[in-house]
Chain A
């Protein structure tokens, strides 16, 4: 038997991530600086870790209910209400998942399959397109533009909609661009979406990392709330990536069905992480504020550094990424990132890894120390100067 022939075409036809080769290269380098890893460089705040440890010491090692501990769901409901003015019932409208990633996957699988089209504004988190493809549905990219500051435009949605369109997946604050959508931005697209039978998946994992104004959720619009699944989690806000814990909120009809996939495929989220997450929501806010203040300082330093290096760079006000325009070097995203890594030992991720419209850009994260940022920017400037001098 040729096992390859047995594999579903959906899986075979999904290209492996384009980022992998860079990580393989950097592993063999000494003195390299990675601006490539999309996760906080902070450790989980101690009180949160300590709560996880305590739960283990007390032998709390059993499953939780499928949707997650009710205590945690209550805290999530309180958090969503106090932080984002969103009302969700802890019984029926909230499900605790294995990171935001699982929430994205089960939300997609609950609604779409072969024959359906899913709008995926790009550049964006690589998992959206992948999960849509695994479901059998067809991802339809919408090319976000640098001149729109990578915000989604109503006309772009109208142009992409067909009778088969059933879902749109948005992630703001955005990975990789750092773009955000404010109230007015959403208002314009709500006008387009409000009377269409299109489900909105709103991935708001980076909501806490908003540096100007308050984070806005599309679910705050009453006409959108009953067709929006809001996804959030602990990885980015509380520096809890390895705990693998997130959640989804939405209308109970939707959450009930998502719960079916979750209970058969996953059972429940890791309970140690759930205990820790309760502590995060109860007492984690001061630590979050500290981390956000530090990210903000690094963000400004990095944007300034790219501009001084001679690269156009719009100011990202969310997440922890900067997405400079590298077209003035005359290089493609891939050439730029490969050259930068080989010649100056700095890793950035080519923008086209996040969708075709990311070509001409590269992603750098400021989830790394100021010393690293300073040194990386010096090297990047040297590289850009050299390339531009021909």
Chain B
């Protein structure tokens, strides 16, 4: 049942416990308990909304930053990753294979703000060797959702 719940919530976290219960063939109480357990075990770690900020007045600038770092003895990359992801400006941070080490997503109000964050906060961190900052110009798809596509039912009346 937990996998079914995860599958449902992954696509729509606003759906009610009662509706999930019907879909998985359980009582709402059992669903509530299962979700609580998933949260407590750190399997469900948050509920997000996918927003196209461009359509709002508060535009957001996003940068994808390739960071090269020197791993620290005994702690590998975890320690430096932690130093980086604690900043509220950082919305995502992953350890990567390949040509650089950490992939950091930074959000800010303006390009300048993001650039200053990189220059003043990220780059000076002791084990950071280099940062390559790429600004997002246009988002086409995020979290499985395509931007700027109004879902309209275009099916025509057909007799069957």
Contacts and interface: CB of A to CB of B under 8 A. Distances in A.
Interface of A: 17, 19-20, 23, 26-27, 34, 36-39, 41, 125-127, 175, 293, 296-297, 300-301, 304, 368, 370, 374
B157 A23 contact: yes
B8 interface: yes
B25 interface: yes
**Of residues B7, B15, B160, which shows the largest number of chain A Cβ atoms within 10 Å of its Cβ?**
B160
Interface residues of B, number: 14
B8 A39 contact: no
A37 B159 contact: no
Contacts of A26: 157
B94 interface: no
Contacts of A27: 157
B22 A304 contact: yes
6 contacts: A34-B153, A37-B155, A37-B157, A39-B155, A39-B160, A41-B155
Contacts of B23: 296-297, 300-301
Interface in B109-160: 153, 155, 157-160
Given A37-B155, A41-B155, A370-B12, A301 B160 contact: no
Contacts, number: 41
B39 interface: no
A175 B22 contact: no
Contacts of B78: none
B37 interface: no
B47 to A, nearest CB: 17
Given A293-B7, A301-B22, A125 B159 contact: no
A125 B159 CA distance: 9
A175 B160 contact: yes
A39 to B, nearest CB: 6
B160 A370 contact: no
A41 B152 CA distance: 10
